[in-house]
Amino acid sequence: GKLKKSKKNLNNKNKPRIYKSEFRFVDFYGIEKYLSQIRHSIEYHLFNWKYFENLYFFSINGVILSGPPKSGKTFLAYTIAGELQVPIFYINSVTFKKFLFQENQKKILSIFMAAYQNSPSIILIEEIEKIFLSVEKNQKEQKQEFLQRFIDITHLINKKKKKKIILLGTTSDATAIQDTLKKPGIFTDEIKLKNPTFFERRKILENFLKNLKIEKKVTPNDLAKITKDFGSGDLFEFILTVIFFFISRISTKLYKGMFTPKIISLKKIYPIKKIDF
């Protein structure tokens, strides 16, 4: 698979698992639009911070990856980790919220500490805007308490200063993220993703279809025209529909290799959402 577990801590169930991505920038069509921000907010922070040591007061530099649903935010995170060859730690909003609300922030801290110890590294939190949404509006004090727990965790890591971590948070609505989280040492930057252009959709579809036998009348160019406003995830679901309707013949061998294209194989990483302690 494109995402592998590190051998460092597989024998210790009390530690979070470490994953290494094998995706590269060439796997993400349209990456050129984001390279400048990636280098400034992520790469420089991880590898060049010592040149500006007097300017760096925090171990954590947080970047919000915002964009429409299925626009490739999670894929971009794994692509960055793969290109920079750093381990990535994954937390979804449900798990994060569960630990935070149950006053079990030690488990979250253990993930941040593991990332710090394996620095340079990346922590990925998906759908970060949903973490505090379940708190009722009339429970402002409780909501503030939950926010403070998370802020306290980041402060503990930021005091160390000697190693660097990138905190990536994906969201479909950056405006829903509390302002108290948008500050140095937590989230300071934002990369806004857009759905693929016509050219990018065509390239993605070409990658999807290159190992499949489809009707000659159906071309990636034709499919790109009718998938306007589709995100990368939408294109994956769409291509499965195309497979059912337009493939003339698929041998058993080809069917088993149907998910070989790199972007499609990303679907195989979803089981890593389970964090073991």
Structural domains of the chain, ranges and CATH numbers in brackets:
3-194 (3.40.50.300), 198-263 (no CATH)
Answer whether 21's CB lies under 8 Å from 73's CB. Answer: no
**pLDDT range class, residue 75, cuts 50, 70, 90:** confident
**pLDDT range class, residue 48, cuts 50, 70, 90:** confident
Cis peptide before 220 (omega within 30 of 0): no
pLDDT for the residue 242? 64
Query: Please, what is the average pLDDT of the chain?
Result: 75
Mean pLDDT confidence for 13-22: 65
Nearest Cα neighbor of 108 from 119, 121, 98, 120 is: 98
Mean pLDDT confidence for 251-276: 36
Q: Report CA-CA distances (Å) from 76 to 5, 26, 227.
A: 19, 11, 21
**pLDDT range class, residue 193, cuts 50, 70, 90:** very high
For residue 129, pLDDT beyond 80: yes
Answer whether 43's CB lies under 8 Å from 166's CB. Answer: no
pLDDT per residue over 238-247, tens digit each?
Answer: 777 766 655 4
For residue 133, pLDDT beyond 60: yes
Mean pLDDT confidence for 90-114: 80
Cα dihedral 6/7/12/16 (nearest 10): 0
Mean pLDDT confidence for 62-81: 91
Q: How far is CA 137 from the centre of its chain?
A: 29
pLDDT over 90 for what percent of the chain? Answer: 18
For residue 25, pLDDT beyond 90: no
pLDDT per residue over 135-167, tens digit each?
Answer: 555 566 666 777 888 888 888 888 876 788 999
For residue 134, pLDDT beyond 60: no
Q: What is the pTM of this model?
A: 0.78
For residue 253, pLDDT beyond 80: no
Mean pLDDT confidence for 216-230: 82
Q: Report CA-CA distances (Å) from 241 to 85, 185, 199, 247.
A: 34, 44, 21, 10
pLDDT for the residue 96? 82
Of 160-169, 211-220, 241-250, where does the model show the most confidence? 160-169
**pLDDT range class, residue 236, cuts 50, 70, 90:** confident
Q: How far apart are CA 236 and CA 270, in angstroms?
A: 15
For residue 10, pLDDT beyond 50: no
**pLDDT range class, residue 36, cuts 50, 70, 90:** very high
In the numeric block, which tokens belong to residue 114?
Answer: 């593991």
For residue 259, pLDDT beyond 80: no
